[in-house]
Amino acid sequence: MKLYTSTRAPNPRRVDIFLAEKGIEVPRVEIDIMKQEHKAPDFIARNPMMRVPVLELDDGTHIAESIAICRYFEELQPAPPLFGVDMLDRALVEMWQRRMELDLMVPVAMAFRHTHPAMAELETPQVAEWGEVNKPRIFTMLDWLDGELADRPFIAGQRYTVADITALVAIDFMRPVRLGVPESCTNVLRWYADVSGRPSAGA
Amino acid sequence: MKLYTSTRAPNPRRVDIFLAEKGIEVPRVEIDIMKQEHKAPDFIARNPMMRVPVLELDDGTHIAESIAICRYFEELQPAPPLFGVDMLDRALVEMWQRRMELDLMVPVAMAFRHTHPAMAELETPQVAEWGEVNKPRIFTMLDWLDGELADRPFIAGQRYTVADITALVAIDFMRPVRLGVPESCTNVLRWYADVSGRPSAGA
């Protein structure tokens, strides 16, 4: 098994944190996105979507998409459970993971990809207006999330799950766009300090 | 159990097809998006993301997000399996479902939401340039998918899965943007005729 990945990029980091929570180590092959190594023929053969990370199994099968890779490891090693503990919990974790991805991480990514000068060669064309439209959506989401976190420790309930991983990575990804969690979002900030303090956050 | 949904909208249709494939019937409450009923206080209480569908359980719990709802029904009634049959297959179905959603359905949705006059009041602001940027991406994806479908019957392999449902709904959603599958994509068209011919496609 081998993980083709890029240290520090947001989606790879989701898998890194997930693996750290599980205590799983996987041999890594570093792909340099700024050098466009993800667009080289040998990488495209592994993932035609040209995105990291990709998990290569010993039989040559490739699993792309961070959340698909995480689900594979969840089944390979169920403890600790990060996708929920029973039928209803698993549905709710999926709901929260998707909300954190589609309504927080995606707007942050759109703001970054479409307004940051470093992305000019990778995101073609950059649509600056689209990047700007997404910025206030991040804060609308954080304000709402703040109310949700008033009466529970983690995004999807009483346990740390993959939804916390996505939300943590999304919020850290606000830094390159020079945005941050407003001081008024005290519950988000409490949750953020908590999940950032876990050893896995350094992964 | 009650499904708050909007007949004909793309995400609700994913759940409708999924339920039809399972042979499950759920009482429905119709939400009129054009009348902005999804932004009314009683609906927001069910799903603060203001999106259909939402599944209301008998104990008052709400499951939002189409794929989370589908996963709940997959566990409630495993046959026929639509999310994969073993650990590796489930990871690959997740990979393909995400590719069909993020790289096909989302670009179609962006083209629709940001260029269609009917969306002017719902998508604010419309960023026409962003809508246009997404159109060629749909065709890049379809061309690539055509090669993938050359040697297998369904999106994720030998079985019909939730990835086929997402792809079918995405392709039908091209119509309001006046786009269609190019004639050169013979494998996609063969697959499309096949999945469109299943009774569930009428759901």
How many helical (H) and strand (E) elements, i.e. helices and strands, does chain B have? Answer: 8, 4
B63 vs A92: CB contact, 8 Å cut-off?
yes
* Cα–Cα distance, B144 to B156 (Å, whole number): 14
B88 shares contact with chain A (CB less than 8 Å): yes
A72 vs B91: CB contact, 8 Å cut-off?
yes
pLDDT tens, position by position, A43-89: 999 999 999 999 999 999 999 999 999 999 999 999 999 999 999 99
pLDDT-based confidence at residue B121 (cuts at 50, 70, 90): confident
* Cα–Cα distance, B162 to B16 (Å, whole number): 12
* Cα–Cα distance, A107 to A68 (Å, whole number): 21
Which residue, chain included where needed, has tokens 């998918």? B145
**Helices B87-100 and B162-172 meet at what angle, rounded to 10?**
10
**Length in residues, chain A:** 203
Half-sphere exposure of B128 (CA within 13 A, CB side): 3
List strand residue ranges (DSSP E) for A54-201, in order.
Answer: 54-56, 62-64
Q: Which two tokens stand for residue B121?
A: 């009041």
d(CA A46, nearest CA chain B) in Å: 13
pLDDT tens, position by position, B70-109: 999 999 999 999 999 999 999 999 999 999 999 999 999 9
Domains, chain B, in order of start with CATH, read 2-76 (3.40.30.10), 87-202 (1.20.1050.10)
Give the ipTM. 0.97
**Spatial contact of B6 and B52, defined as CB atoms under 8 Å apart:** yes
**Helices B186-196 and B128-148 meet at what angle, rounded to 10?**
90
d(CA A174, nearest CA chain B) in Å: 21
